[in-house]
């Protein structure tokens, strides 16, 4: 929250709390990556292989996602795997913007996601990557997708891929 010596910030935080609001000043992701012309943005948290996400960061990420904002965490270390993942995230974000501009979107619901489950009771890596969900799956990935707006073409492809990985 407010720095020890910043009385103005402390005053604002305490006043907001007196109105019953929660106030977070810590835990913001490292980067806001945005496309101003298209009014699209995502947050990016950068960690080393050993770093842990702090509780206030988890809370902030949860709030941002609940507000419909994209938050990604990337681990960059000496093995260069993180660099490839960064390029993958940015490329997917760019593609997502292009798809949203070119067609209609659909709001994901629990039933829409469950409709894409395979006869074995799961989803393929290829299906989930359409919605920017990557392996290893992170706890809460399903809940995070609820309410997301995705291009209709992505959802149609998601359904087409339903049992393809079983063949």
DSSP codes of every residue in the chain: ---TT-HHHHHHHHHHHHTT-----S---SEEEEETTTTEEEEEEEE-SS----HHHHHHHHHHHHTT-EEEEEE--TTSHHHHHHHHHHHHHHHHHHHHHHS-EEE--HHHHHTT--TTSS--HHHHHTTT--SSPPTTHHHHHTT-EEEHHHHHHHHHTTTGGG-
pLDDT at site 102: 63
Domain boundary among 76, 102, 128: 102
Domain identity same for 69 and 133: no
Range of the domain at 161: 103-167
Domain identity same for 22 and 78: yes
* Rg, Å, the chain Cα set: 19
Instruction: Provide the whole-model pTM.
Output: 0.52
Return the CATH number at 10: 3.40.1350
pLDDT at site 154: 86
Domain boundary among 80, 102, 124: 102
pLDDT at site 99: 64
pLDDT at site 11: 92
pLDDT at site 17: 93
Domain identity same for 10 and 80: yes
Residues in the chain where the model's pLDDT stays below 70: 1-5, 37-38, 77-82, 97-103
pLDDT at site 81: 66
């Amino acid at each position: 929250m407010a720095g020890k010596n910043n009385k103005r910030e402390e005053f604002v935080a305490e006043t907001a709390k007196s109105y019953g609001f929660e106030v977070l000043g810590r835990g913001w992701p490292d980067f806001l990556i945005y496309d101003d012309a298209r009014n699209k943005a995502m947050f990016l948290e950068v960690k080393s292989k050993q770093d842990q996400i702090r509780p206030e960061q988890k809370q902030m990420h949860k709030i941002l996602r609940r507000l419909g904002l994209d938050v990604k965490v990337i681990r960059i270390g000496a093995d260069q795997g993180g660099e490839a993942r960064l390029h993958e995230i940015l490329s997917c974000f760019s593609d997502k913007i292009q798809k949203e501009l070119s067609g209609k979107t659909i709001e994901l619901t629990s039933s829409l996601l469950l409709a894409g489950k395979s006869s074995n009771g799961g989803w393929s890596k290829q299906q989930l990557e359409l919605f920017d969900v990557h392996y290893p799956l992170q706890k809460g990935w399903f809940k995070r997708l609820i309410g997301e707006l995705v291009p209709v073409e992505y959802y149609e492809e998601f359904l087409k891929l339903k049992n393809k990985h079983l063949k």
